[in-house]
Amino acid sequence: MKQDDFQAFERLTTRPNRRYRTLDVDQITPVIGAEISGVDLAQELTAEQLAEIKCAFLDHHVLVFRNQVITTEDHKRFAGNFGELRPVNPPPEHGDPYVLDIKTSAKDMQIAGDGWHADGTSDAEPSLGSMLYITQVPESGCGGDTLFANMHLAYELCSQPMQKFLEQLTAVHDGATQIQLGSITEHPVVVRHPETGRKLLFVNPGYTSHIPQLSKDESRALLDMLFALIPSRPALSCRVRWQNNTLVLWDNRCVQHHAIYDYYPLSRFGHRVAINGGVPQAGTG
């Protein structure tokens, strides 16, 4: 870790010392991710279970639930506890309009999500989060991990003068970089999480094309620097190793993720349900 990073990490690795009554929460890293046990997602959650899961979600940003044998209706019911379900875009020709099949076969040379991004940030209202349920890991039993990065901490790692500069800027997010989308939207470079009020860096190489307040060269240089924060600092991230019947919920408002395609020519299969979000609000002041 770089010397200048220690102070920011020290601030953000201090989390609420919560006591949970209905579930167990085990951190994956000090800054992001937790494994949740003691709940069965095939059953209706009690009000106390749901409240504790929501607290853990805001604290850890990525929640991993293992050994869950659930139906599509169970999957959607759990997601619906966090908000309105987000229709798949474009809608599937067959199947449930709220369930996106995540599948990789031996013929696929590349996969969606193989690169750092947040989902659908070219939309005016990007999703609150997603729940990915993997039912079949690669036949070898390994590979296909997903990395998740804490964008609150990415912002905190910038110097104070840089933070102030970034807070004055917006960025254009262009869905043309993703084949299935065509929307173009402008969002603040720094936004506030709508529930916690914490500031975070809201640009990603999957969708962000340029910063309109800067020249083309300045925009490219600044974005390249911001994009490099995540891959150059592994301590920002956690790594989720998938097993069959694992469900992962992540906060798309403050997390980027990277699906690693290191299992060609093997297969992987799962289902994703997304939750509607809102308009990102500027993190000034």
In a domain? residue 285: no
Structural domain count of the chain: 1
Minimal CA–CA distance to 90: which of 204, 179, 185?
179
**Domain that residue 186 falls in:** 3-276
Residue 186 domain flag: yes
Go through the chain and tell me how many residues it has. Answer: 285
Alpha carbons within 13 angstroms on the beta-carbon side of residue 265 total 2
Looking at residue 16, its pLDDT comes to 65
Sign of the dihedral defined by the CA atoms of residues 55, 56, 61, 64, in that order? negative
Strand order through the sheet with 199-201: 199-201, 190-192, 281-282
Pair 86, 275: CB distance under 8 Å: yes
Domain-embedded: residue 8: yes
Quote the pLDDT of residue 157. 92
Amino acid 163: pLDDT: 97
In a domain, 282, yes or no: no
Q: CA–CA separation, 262 vs 268, rounded Å?
A: 11
281 assigned to some structural domain: no
> Could you give the CA distance from residue 231 to residue 236 in angstroms, rounded to a whole number?
9
Q: Decide: helix, strand or coil at residue 35.
A: strand
Q: What is the pTM of this model?
A: 0.94
Identify whether the C-beta of residue 167 lies closer than 8 Å to the C-beta of residue 283: yes
Tens of pLDDT along the chain (285 residues)?
666 666 666 666 656 678 899 999 999 999 999 999 999 999 999 999 999 999 999 999 999 999 999 999 999 999 999 999 999 988 888 889 999 998 888 777 667 667 899 999 999 999 999 999 999 999 888 889 999 999 999 999 999 999 999 999 999 999 876 554 568 999 999 999 999 999 999 999 999 999 999 999 999 999 999 999 999 999 999 999 999 999 999 999 999 999 998 988 888 999 999 999 999 999 887
Structure confidence at residue 143 (pLDDT): 87
Q: Which residues contact 37 (CB under 8 A, 6 or more apart)?
A: 23, 24, 26, 65, 66
Structural tokens at position 62? 């990525």
Q: Are 254 and 84 in contact (CB under 8 A)?
A: no
Q: What is the pLDDT of residue 242?
A: 95
Residue type at 149 in one-letter notation: A
Nearest alpha carbon to residue 191 among 252, 248, 130: 252
Give the whole-angstrom CA distance, residue 148 versus residue 116: 9
Is 19 within a domain?
Answer: yes
pLDDT of residue 140: 81
Tell me if 284 is assigned to some domain.
no
Q: Is 154 helix (H, G, I), strand (E, B) or coil?
A: helix
Q: Which residues are catalytic?
A: 117, 119, 257, 272
User: Residue 245 belongs to a domain with what CATH number?
Assistant: 3.60.130.10
CB proximity list for 276: less than 8 A, separation 6 or greater: 83, 84, 85, 86, 125, 127, 128
- Per-residue confidence (pLDDT) for residue 142, from 0 to 100: 82
In this structure, is residue 198 part of a structural domain?
yes
pLDDT at 106: 73
